[in-house]
Amino acid sequence: MIHHLGIVVSDFMRSAALYDACLAPLGIRRSVTDLDWAIYAAGTGHPFLWVGAEIPSFWESGHEPSRSPIHLAFAAPNRDAVNAFYHAAMELGAEDNGPPGPRVSDANFYSAFIIDLDGNNIEATVQET
């Protein structure tokens, strides 16, 4: 699991609902911020959604987050959590980018991929032995 991350979003309320629902099965919570702070932090009028433990103290209004789509993989505790992540995201408007299932590379993973409401490729995965 990661400590925290920030994601530029176009619609703070819709994105917050999506991330709250699909990350809950993974045991991950979004940091609670208010919409005014999120818009201020982005510095460009684009809300900035925080996922994780805290809002870092170094963030200032002059800093601008990346505008490129990201790929982020969250560690899941088991297959059921991967499945719940995927289904919650689909219910809230995310795009399918790979339904839950086994992925084989150097190690075996069970993963699901979604494209969030702003084009980011978000994954939930559990490494299986």
What confidence score (pLDDT) does residue 58 get? 47
pLDDT in tens, 47-71: 667 676 555 544 455 545 556 678 8
- pTM across the whole model: 0.75
Domain presence at residue 52 = yes
Q: Determine the pLDDT at residue 39.
A: 46
Q: Does 62 reside within a domain?
A: no
Only one residue has tokens 């995927």, namely: 86
Residue 64 lies in a domain: no
Confidence of residue 45 (pLDDT cuts 50, 70, 90): low
Residue 47 lies in a domain: yes
CATH number of the domain enclosing 100: 3.10.180.10
> Would you say residue 122 lies in a domain?
yes
Determine, yes or no, domain membership for 50.
yes
**Which residue range is the domain that position 120 belongs to?**
4-57+69-128
Number of domains in the chain: 1
